[in-house]
A and B are shown apart, each in its own frame.
Chain A
Amino acid sequence: MKKTLALAVTVALSTTFAGADQLVIKGSDTLGAKLVPQLAEAYKAENPNTQFNIAAEGSSTGFAALIDQTANIGMASRRAKPTEISAALAKGLDLRPTIVAWDGIAVIVNGSNPIPALTKKQVEQIFTGDIKDWSAVGGAPGKISIYTRNTASGTYADFKELAMSKRDYAGSSQKMAGNEQIVSEVAKNPAGIGYVGLAYLKASGIKVLAVDGKKPDQADVRNKSYPYSRPTFYYTNGSPAGETKAFVDFTLSPRGQKIVEQVGFVPVQ
């Protein structure tokens, strides 16, 4: 009973805030850890009455919040699954995507790792556990430590599809809550390997590997010649309106796209 009451209050407050000056934005850690907070700050500078409530716990949580109608915008680093679209339709909702930036999932290793590049096949073999030792890909002998995102993450699903032929991750892989945790662990572990979005490559102690000869720079991500390129999204219920539309428009505006680039993503335009 208490739980039901709490939920009702939460939904009511969220709806109230959403209907007034508060934007509730939930979902992707890739977008929500850096980019969206900076966009929100910039937007607030011009619209001081607008309050933001941002929760970045993975793309799945963004879709769930949209379907539960507890968020105005769902941040996503992947497309909505048919199951999520079905669930939304069942509630009379229409999940609409807006591409807000392009991202490349970079494969990173510890800065001391001598390996400069991998092939797509090697990446798949490493993350699925077929290859367990660095010596198998030309590195110094030693067991490979794999760091991945957790299952709520859109990047987790995207990487599985883009890089692993939809195979399962190695049983030994360690699941991290966010990109920054992966960067931190790989920077500390000479045998570590992981993947993160472009916005997280400026950290020290890590090295970005070329994949099939391509590194995730802006040009290769935008023209999709980098193999792990992907769009990132705002999802809304139908076409955005009101304050939500204003924030989406701001994100796609030259000023917003400049912030996109500054954070490390690739602008849409």
Chain B
Amino acid sequence: MKKSTLTTLALAGALVFGGAASSQAQDSGALLDALVRKKVLTSQEAEDVRADLIKESAATNAGKLQLSNSITSLKLYGDVRLRYQYDNKDPQIETPLAGSNYLFSTNDNSTLSALTTANSNKSPWATDAKGFVIATGDVKNAAGKVVYHKGDRLLASNGDPIKGQINPATTGVGAPANGAQRNRERIRLRLAADFQLAGGFFGGVQLQTTQAADSGNQSFGDSSTGAAGFGNYNIYISRAYVGWNANDWLTLVGGKQPNPFYTTDLVWDADINPDGFVEKVDLIKLFGGNGSEVVSYSQDGKQLSSVSTIRSESAYELSLVAGQFVFNDNAEDSFGSGFKTDAWLFNTQLVGSVKVTPGVKVTLAPGYMTYTSGNTTDLNNETAFMTTKSGATVLTNYQYSAVSKNGVLVPVAATRDLSIITAPGDVSFKLCGLKAKVLWDFAYNTQGAQRVEEVYGLQNIQVPVKNASGVVTGYQSAKGTVKPTTRISTTRVSGHESQDDIAWLAGIQLGENKKAGDWSVMANFRQTGLGSVDPNLNDSDFALGQLNMQGVKTGLAYNFTDFCVGAVTYYSAWNLRDDLIGGQATGGQKIASMNGVQILQLDLNVKF
């Protein structure tokens, strides 16, 4: 009776002190051992209690989960984000270029685009005083037959006269003549697992909606992804990596992994998980100090990571982070030099920080990134810059090649002429009891001129000439000023300016979002020169990833619960230069074709 009572008490004690049997059975061993040592229980009684606890644990749902013996810890987590996004785009269209096409903002573009001009140096169309489109000369159809004479009103297919505005066009007929608005309701799902293995090994996997490297957003009903009509979504592997803590100062990581660098979204979109290899060296520990582990960085908190900031209690930190990433694997037996070469990104960064006072910490992270010169195809980034369209293997025209200054056609590699010095940093401190941070970023492409002229093909730039009222009265080229409606023959002038090589960002953050009731605000201003950063890596939200932009990003976030955060983010961007014409800037892949972009995002993010 006595033994039975003691056993019951021990079992109760194990449950109380060890927690619920379902999760804590294994942890009760120390308590049972202590009870045996104090002779409260015999070894056999302790063993009976232990067996009961394990049995109870095994009967629970949690107890039925089986993990590999090699796993020493496993963390499962994720988030679901609902987003409403409003975009307002003001595309740049003042772009007369060599060619026979003009842009027509009319009620019947299809009729016009089927016709050719009779005058190679002048638009065949004009708008009369009543708003009708009339021919300024003879207009032929594709067969060469004159279908309109000078002064004739242009007729739609139903015979009605067409009204509208005539503008010079980009090389791509059909570009919008006015701003474009878009509303989207979107969702992003991320499921992640981080695991620790014996022997210092670790790793992680993450699944998420959408394939784009720089966005996990899946728009509701998006027909382009098969989601229209309540179609289901695809799921993609966004992380799969393993690492090894070789010792207390060296960590090696391989695979598709969280961005290991201290950075902002000026250079790296926080959604991107690069593929390749990373080495992290804690220089303080290497040389015998008491350094800290550098795991991964994200200044804006977009990264879904259980460890996303520098972790340290020491006053000084100094780490070297080096990454070798495969940006685009090309088949070595392909045609063209750019297609024979893999596009590798090499990035190295020195991360140093010091606690100036107990509440003030300064972090500096100078770095250098460069690519091997390779072509890129089939990118899924929201604003992708590629060398070729999907499947194209022949260099056909200037959109896919560049003419060097001596007039020789050379293949363009999308990752060519990017040799970028970066220098992000921040000062974190307390303000009115809240965490605060002043942060900045800087990027300078030492090969910006070549990038702008040869890769983006801006030799053919024509600078708009405006009067005092800001009205474009003509275009300046090497041949002199010409009128807006006059097409200019190909004349090569340099389109590069020194500001194209630089990108910078400065901003503030106040507050943090960790538990219910927490709030934070942030604001930053940035300029992103045309040749300063890689358009495939920079933030896809600011100016929709466009280059040659400047503007502000502001945001407010509030924790409704510990796990549910509501956020409002607003971006407003406008041209850094307004004289970019042609090449890949406003033509081709249009990486800098916007006069202005405004974006509003309303988010509800639930973490689990």
B334 to chain A, nearest CB (A): 41
Docked pose: A222 CA to B70 CA in angstroms = 31
Q: Quick check: is A82 within 8 A (CB to CB) of the other chain?
A: yes
Q: Which of A80-134 contact B (CB under 8 A)?
A: 80, 82-83, 85-86, 89, 94-99, 128
Nearest-CB residue, chain B, relative to A231: B43
Docked pose: A95 CA to B52 CA in angstroms = 10
- A166 and B63 form a contact (CB under 8 A): no
Known A83-B66, A168-B198, A268-B43; contact A95-B51, beta-carbon cutoff 8 A: yes
- B43 and A85 form a contact (CB under 8 A): no
- A97 and B51 form a contact (CB under 8 A): yes
Q: Quick check: is A79 within 8 A (CB to CB) of the other chain?
A: yes
Interface with A: B53-61, B181-189, B213-221, which one?
Answer: B53-61
Docked pose: A86 CA to B26 CA in angstroms = 14
- B44 and A86 form a contact (CB under 8 A): no
Q: Quick check: is B50 within 8 A (CB to CB) of the other chain?
A: yes
Docked pose: A99 CA to B46 CA in angstroms = 10
- B199 and A168 form a contact (CB under 8 A): yes
Docked pose: A167 CA to B72 CA in angstroms = 10
Docked pose: A82 CA to B55 CA in angstroms = 8
Q: Quick check: is B248 within 8 A (CB to CB) of the other chain?
A: no
Known A166-B198, A167-B199, A168-B198; contact A85-B47, beta-carbon cutoff 8 A: no
B176 to chain A, nearest CB (A): 62
Main secondary structure of the interface of B (DSSP, over half): helix
Which A residues are in CB contact (< 8 Å) with B63? Answer: 82, 86
- B58 and A166 form a contact (CB under 8 A): no
A152 to chain B, nearest CB (A): 14
A101 to chain B, nearest CB (A): 11
Q: Quick check: is B64 within 8 A (CB to CB) of the other chain?
A: yes
Which A residues are in CB contact (< 8 Å) with B48? Answer: 96-97
Docked pose: A94 CA to B48 CA in angstroms = 12
Known A83-B66, A166-B198, A168-B199; contact A99-B44, beta-carbon cutoff 8 A: yes
- B51 and A98 form a contact (CB under 8 A): no
Docked pose: A231 CA to B51 CA in angstroms = 14
Which B residues are in CB contact (< 8 Å) with A231? Answer: 43, 47
State the interface size on chain A (CB cutoff 8 A). Answer: 21
Interface size class of B (residues with CB under 8 A): 20 to 34
Nearest-CB residue, chain A, relative to B198: A167
A265 to chain B, nearest CB (A): 14
Nearest-CB residue, chain B, relative to A102: B43
Which A residues are in CB contact (< 8 Å) with B70? Answer: 168
Docked pose: A84 CA to B64 CA in angstroms = 11
- A79 and B55 form a contact (CB under 8 A): no
Which A residues are in CB contact (< 8 Å) with B72? Answer: 166
Docked pose: A128 CA to B200 CA in angstroms = 13
- A82 and B58 form a contact (CB under 8 A): yes
Which B residues are in CB contact (< 8 Å) with A96? Answer: 48, 51
Which A residues are in CB contact (< 8 Å) with B57? Answer: 82
Residue B43 contacts which of A82, A99, A168 (CB distance < 8 angstroms)?
A99
- B44 and A98 form a contact (CB under 8 A): yes
- A89 and B55 form a contact (CB under 8 A): yes
Docked pose: A89 CA to B57 CA in angstroms = 11
A158 to chain B, nearest CB (A): 13
Which B residues are in CB contact (< 8 Å) with A97? Answer: 47-48, 50-51
A165 to chain B, nearest CB (A): 8
- B64 and A99 form a contact (CB under 8 A): no
Docked pose: A252 CA to B16 CA in angstroms = 32
- A94 and B43 form a contact (CB under 8 A): no
Docked pose: A83 CA to B65 CA in angstroms = 9
Q: Which of B316-342 contact A (CB under 8 A)?
A: none
Known A99-B43, A231-B43, A268-B43; contact A89-B50, beta-carbon cutoff 8 A: no
- A80 and B54 form a contact (CB under 8 A): yes
- B199 and A79 form a contact (CB under 8 A): no
Contact with A along B575-588 (1 / 0, CB 8 A): 00000000000000
Nearest-CB residue, chain A, relative to B70: A168
Residue B47 contacts which of A89, A99, A166, A224 (CB distance < 8 angstroms)?
A99
Docked pose: A94 CA to B64 CA in angstroms = 16
Known A99-B44, A166-B72, A231-B47; contact A85-B54, beta-carbon cutoff 8 A: yes
Which A residues are in CB contact (< 8 Å) with B26? Answer: 82
Docked pose: A268 CA to B198 CA in angstroms = 34
B56 to chain A, nearest CB (A): 10
Most A CB within 10 A of own CB, among B50, B54, B66, B70: B54
Docked pose: A269 CA to B26 CA in angstroms = 26
Docked pose: A153 CA to B320 CA in angstroms = 45
Which B residues are in CB contact (< 8 Å) with A98? Answer: 44, 47
Nearest-CB residue, chain A, relative to B29: A79
- A79 and B66 form a contact (CB under 8 A): no
Which B residues are in CB contact (< 8 Å) with A128? Answer: 199
Docked pose: A104 CA to B72 CA in angstroms = 26
Which B residues are in CB contact (< 8 Å) with A166? Answer: 72, 198
Nearest-CB residue, chain B, relative to A235: B51
Nearest-CB residue, chain B, relative to A165: B198
Contact with A along B259-270 (1 / 0, CB 8 A): 000000000000
- B51 and A86 form a contact (CB under 8 A): no
Which B residues are in CB contact (< 8 Å) with A168? Answer: 70, 198-199
Nearest-CB residue, chain A, relative to B55: A85
Residue A268 contacts which of B44, B51, B64 (CB distance < 8 angstroms)?
B44
Docked pose: A268 CA to B36 CA in angstroms = 13
Docked pose: A97 CA to B32 CA in angstroms = 15
Which B residues are in CB contact (< 8 Å) with A224? Answer: 33
Nearest-CB residue, chain B, relative to A164: B198
Which A residues are in CB contact (< 8 Å) with B58? Answer: 82, 85-86, 89
**A-B residue pairs, 6 tightest by C-beta:** A86-B58, A85-B58, A97-B47, A167-B198, A99-B44, A82-B58
5 sampled A-B residue pairs with Cβ under 8 A: A79-B54, A99-B43, A168-B198, A231-B43, A268-B44
16 extra A-B contacts, CB within 8 A, seeds A83-B66, A85-B51, A168-B198: A79-B50, A82-B57, A82-B58, A86-B63, A94-B55, A95-B55, A96-B51, A97-B47, A97-B48, A98-B44, A99-B44, A128-B199, A166-B198, A168-B199, A231-B43, A268-B43
